[in-house]
A and B are shown apart, each in its own frame.
Chain A
Amino acid sequence: QKEVEQNSGPLSVPEGAIASLNCTYSDRGSQSFFWYRQYSGKSPELIMFIYSNGDKEDGRFTAQLNKASQYVSLLIRDSQPSDSATYLCALSGGSYIPTFGRGTSLIVHP
């Protein structure tokens, strides 16, 4: 069974710092990796996806993928209080069914 593991947190960082969110997975056949942000009471929103080993940058966000070690991470630079949310890691392996982690709660304090 495919598993995606995330530390539930909360991860607390000061405003302006780098927040590092990590995710490990069990299925070596996983091909696509996604990060979603979910504000309290709202639906998840896709913020990053990555398919190849290495880094992918989009604004203040960087996704990092290491398939050999089976982990994917999300870095948020210059963290803002508005980044406070739960971040969900997800992956798919070519089937129609994605696998989601349970999410890491991030708190950015002023």
Chain B
Amino acid sequence: SQTIHQWPATLVQPVGSPLSLECTVEGTSNPNLYWYRQAAGRGLQLLFYSVGIGQISSEVPQNLSASRPQDRQFILSSKKLLLSDSGFYLCAWANPGGEQYFGPGTRLTVT
């Protein structure tokens, strides 16, 4: 069966510091991968998606970037965090039918 991991689970970072969040998927090959952000009490905002190694599409221009160095690894990064980057970051993979399966998420607080 497929599983998806994210770490860390929680993170408190000062404004201007860098960020690296990692997501890995097990039990499937060449999945479509997604990064979402959910602000408190808000809906899901799609940040990036990837259909293969090295292929990244950005949905929202911002100070975040994503990379996919391996088939089942997806990384979200920032060089300098802003207060507005606080939120619940979710990684997901999708099967060919479009069903999405989410990781446990990382709760980021920028102070």
Instruction: Please list the residues of chain A having a beta carbon within 8 angstroms of any beta carbon in chain B.
Output: 31-32, 34, 36, 42-46, 49, 51, 88, 90, 92, 96-98, 100-103
Contact = CB atoms under 8 A, between A and B. Distances in A.
B102 A100 contact: no
Interface in B85-101: 90, 94, 97-101
Contact of A45 (B43, B46, B102): B102
Contact of B100 (A31, A34, A42, A103): A34
A34 B46 contact: no
A34 B105 contact: no
**Binding site secondary structure of chain B:** strand
Interface residues of B, number: 20
Interface in B59-74: 59
A98 B51 contact: no
Contacts of B44: 44, 88, 100
Contacts of A88: 43-44
A102 B43 contact: yes
Interface string B7-43: 0000000000000000000000000100000000011
Contacts, number: 49
Interface of B: 32, 42-44, 46, 49, 51, 57, 59, 90, 94, 97-105
Contact of B101 (A46, A98, A101): A46
A21 to B, nearest CB: 15
Nearest to A51: B97
B43 A49 contact: no
Contacts of A32: 97-99
Contacts of A102: 42-43
B100 A90 contact: yes
A92 B98 contact: yes
A97 B59 contact: yes
Closest 4 CB pairs of A and B: A102-B43, A92-B98, A43-B102, A32-B98
